[in-house]
């Protein structure tokens, strides 16, 4: 029964989210040179083809290349394994918890795929207001961020009500 639930949630959410991430990165790779871009909403959203050798927001970019992919690969696989164990063992039927776990796995595997193919992550979403510019990111980062936000909601708001 648990296997069926895990497979259903993975198939309905994690796989499509992973696919959207990889498809959008493919579009950027195929149609834009690194560093090129265009404006979607003036003064707010640009699409800029960027690469990130580090983790979120460029953390650990200075890590030597020979260690970078194995390090991030191992961390990703450990995190995904832990999430799958949590998913497998969870007793409650929380759709929110299942959703956030699937989003985090989809994002983690999307960025891992980039690291294995390119040795770095393809980023392209650039949000800014005036001089403030958020670090460029991608759909995998979006899934991870939404998943983490949902995990906070589940942990601090939903579980306290129950």
The single residue of 21, 46, 114, 123 carrying the catalytic annotation is 123
Q: In which residue are the tokens 């696989």 written?
A: 77
46 catalytic per annotation? no
Residue 21's φ and ψ, nearest 5 degrees, are -60, -50
The single residue of 21, 46, 114, 141 carrying the catalytic annotation is 141
Which residues touch 90 (CB under 8 Å, ≥6 apart)? 97, 98
Which residues touch 20 (CB under 8 Å, ≥6 apart)? 139
- CA separation for the pair 79, 112 (Å, rounded): 12
C-alpha pair distances (Å), 16 with each of 1, 5, 105: 22, 16, 12
Q: In which residue are the tokens 């991430």 written?
A: 21
123 catalytic per annotation? yes
Active site residues per annotation: 123, 141
């Amino acid at each position: 029964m648990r296997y069926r639930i895990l497979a259903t949630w993975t198939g309905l959410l994690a796989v499509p989210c992973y696919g959207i991430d990889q498809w959008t990165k493919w579009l950027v790779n195929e149609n834009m040179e690194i560093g090129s871009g265009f404006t979607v909403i003036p003064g707010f959203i640009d699409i800029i083809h960027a690469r990130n050798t580090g983790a979120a927001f460029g953390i650990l970019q200075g890590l030597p290349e020979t260690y970078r992919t194995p390090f991030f690969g191992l961390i990703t696989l450990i995190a995904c394994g832990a999430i799958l164990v949590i998913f497998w063992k969870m007793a409650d039927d929380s759709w929110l918890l299942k959703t956030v776990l699937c989003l985090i796995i989809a994002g983690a595997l999307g960025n891992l795929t980039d690291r294995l193919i390119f040795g770095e992550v393809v980023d392209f979403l650039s949000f800014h207001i005036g001089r403030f510019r958020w670090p460029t990111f991608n759909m995998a980062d979006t899934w991870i961020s939404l998943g983490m936000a949902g995990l906070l909601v589940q942990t601090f708001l939903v579980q306290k009500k129950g």
